Amino acid sequence: EDKNNLLQTGNAGRILHPQYKEGETTPVFLSIDKLTNELVAARADKINIPEEIKGVKLNESQQKELAEGRAIFVEGMTARSGNEFSAWLQVDADKRGIGFRFDQQQNQQQNVNDQRQVRIPNSLLGKELNEEQQQKLEKRETVYISGMKDKEGQEFNAYVKINDEKGKLDFYKWNPDKAQTKGAEVTPDKNSKTQVAVNSEGKTNEATKDVREPLNKEQVTPTEQQTDKRNRSKAHSM
């Protein structure tokens, strides 16, 4: 049941009691890291259950449900834009607080379950996503995200859209929706893909395999300075 909950919602849905020290258990919430897909635990006594969220006061029953790790559906919350929205709320150990899940209504539940294979993250490569961006991704719309960083700290910007067929997020240099309306072939941005693959995933790009520094923003080939440095290094080794 815990595994099913984690796969469907990203959260275990209850408080667990692992034993970190012999003879001593620690109550924790358990969730999945949206970026690495690893399990993340947060001590239950460190998570604050608020009395009010986005302009809606929670009753004792709702607070109790949250404190026990279960999800509650809250309507009439107010976003920063002033628009009202509804969402499932649940303690998210990865976020160290209350997470939002923008599921559809009950008559669309099957469609929601099909789409849950791609989780809507609260942040993406170090960049916090606002409610509007999360809702657009949930609706399978394209969002532009700036200031993302790979694991080497190199920034890059990209259009992001969910790829349900492959169960992942795709990154684009140009807006894929506008390109499609003009009949252009749309493919993920190779520049950002190469940068993230080399810097974050430890993969090898043939053109830059001998470059020792992290790739810069949208870099796919060595710079002139990196080429000179590579040639000097080869000369020393001969």
16 and 93 assigned to the same domain: yes
- Structural domain count, the chain: 2
- The domain boundary residue, chosen from 52, 73, 101: 101
97 and 125 assigned to the same domain: no
Which pLDDT belongs to residue 81?
Answer: 82
Provide the 8-state DSSP code for 10.
S
77 and 145 assigned to the same domain: no
Instruction: Judge whether 113 lies within some domain.
Output: no
Question: Does residue 31 surpass a pLDDT of 90?
Answer: yes
pLDDT tens digits, one per residue of 128-150: 999 899 888 888 899 999 888 87
Percent of the chain with pLDDT over 70: 68
Which pLDDT belongs to residue 189?
Answer: 57
Of these ranges, 155-169, 181-195, 198-212, 222-236, the one predicted with the greatest mean pLDDT is 155-169
In three state form, how does the secondary structure of 100-135 look?
A: EECCCCHHHHHHHHHHCCCCCCCEECCEECCHHHHH
208 and 133 assigned to the same domain: yes
3-state secondary structure of 88: strand
59 and 134 assigned to the same domain: no
Domain membership of residue 182 as a residue range? 120-238
97 and 136 assigned to the same domain: no
Structure tokens at 33: 């890291």
pLDDT tens digits, one per residue of 184-194: 445 555 556 56
The count of other CB atoms within 10 Å of the CB of residue 76 is 10
127 and 219 assigned to the same domain: yes
Choose the weakest-confidence range: 14-18, 229-233, 234-238: 234-238
124 and 236 assigned to the same domain: yes
Cα dist from 74 to 85, 88, 138, 197, whole Å: 9, 6, 17, 39
Query: Is-contact 26 90, C-beta < 8 A?
Result: no
145 and 46 assigned to the same domain: no
75 and 177 assigned to the same domain: no
238 and 127 assigned to the same domain: yes
